[in-house]
Amino acid sequence: MWRSFYDYLNQDSTGAGIARLVISTLFVLAVWQVLTMTIVQNRMLLVPPREVLQAFGREIGSGAMWKNAVATVMAVGTSFPVAVAIGVITGLILASNRVVSLMVGPLLSALNSVPIIALAPLFIAWLGLGLTSKFVLVLLVAVFPVIVTTEAGLRAADKNLIEAAKSFNATPLQVFATVTFPYALPFIVSGVRVAWARALVGIVVAEFFGSFAGFGFAVMAAGQTFDTATLLTYVIVLGAMGLVGSMIFQSLETRLAPWRNA
């Protein structure tokens, strides 16, 4: 019985994925409950899951959750697609032109090493409180993983497949459309998944410093009043957003590059 259940969990089906998620969630909740009952009994540091659920209900009932969700989703929803588009286009340019890659690559590496999040107060001072500063901060945080993975994926394309396409008189555009870009798709989607996680971090930090609504603002407000239950509520919602986004992009990769799971 247990062996067959283990084999079921090892499958790639939707049902098995849901079962794995439920089991892991229940395990985390059980460990969390035990910690609050034995080791961490200070309610300012950690509260049991039941209190977080109650705080979630209060935020829903008061309308605060919806107000903060609209602010955060609007900022991420406008800046993240732009970051992906810029990242893919820049990666294509760098992969197709060696001179440009040698000239621009070191500059991009230096910019990627700069702690953009630490510069959030400067962006707020330059661009003011509102959507613009959050848009730019999330864009800068999320764009680099897409650039790196796009360029790496295009350069990693199988040379034998490229030569085979050329042997059939394929034009450079046809080689790109039928060989190079499809080969790079899994790399690009992986970069998008990383960028999504970084975008959520970026929007939270931006809302720490320059917003009157949003999940980051709610986390900051709850932390200042030592409302641990509300703070954990928004942290869990952000984690759920990250999980859902990752699952969507993973499903997209499966549809765009089915041969990867063949």
Q: What is the pLDDT of residues 120-156, one digit of tens each?
A: 777 777 777 777 888 888 888 889 889 988 988 888 8
Domains of the chain: 1-40 (no CATH), 49-261 (1.10.3720.10)
CA–CA dist 246, 259 (Å, integer): 20
Tens-place pLDDT, residues 213-239: 788 888 888 888 888 888 989 999 998
What does each C-alpha distance from 7 to 16, 20, 183, 261 come to in angstroms? 10, 12, 31, 18
DSSP class per residue in 175-205: HIIIIIHHHHHHHHHHHHHHHHHHHHHHHHH
Strands (E), 112-159: none
**pTM assigned to the model:** 0.82
- The alpha carbon of 85 is separated from its chain's Cα centroid by a whole number of angstroms, namely 15
Q: Which residues contact 16 (CB under 8 A, 6 or more apart)?
A: 8, 9, 10
What is the percentage of the chain residues whose pLDDT exceeds 90? Answer: 7
Measured between alpha carbons, how far is 37 from 54 in angstroms, rounded to an integer?
18
Beta carbons of 123 and 133 less than 8 angstroms apart? yes
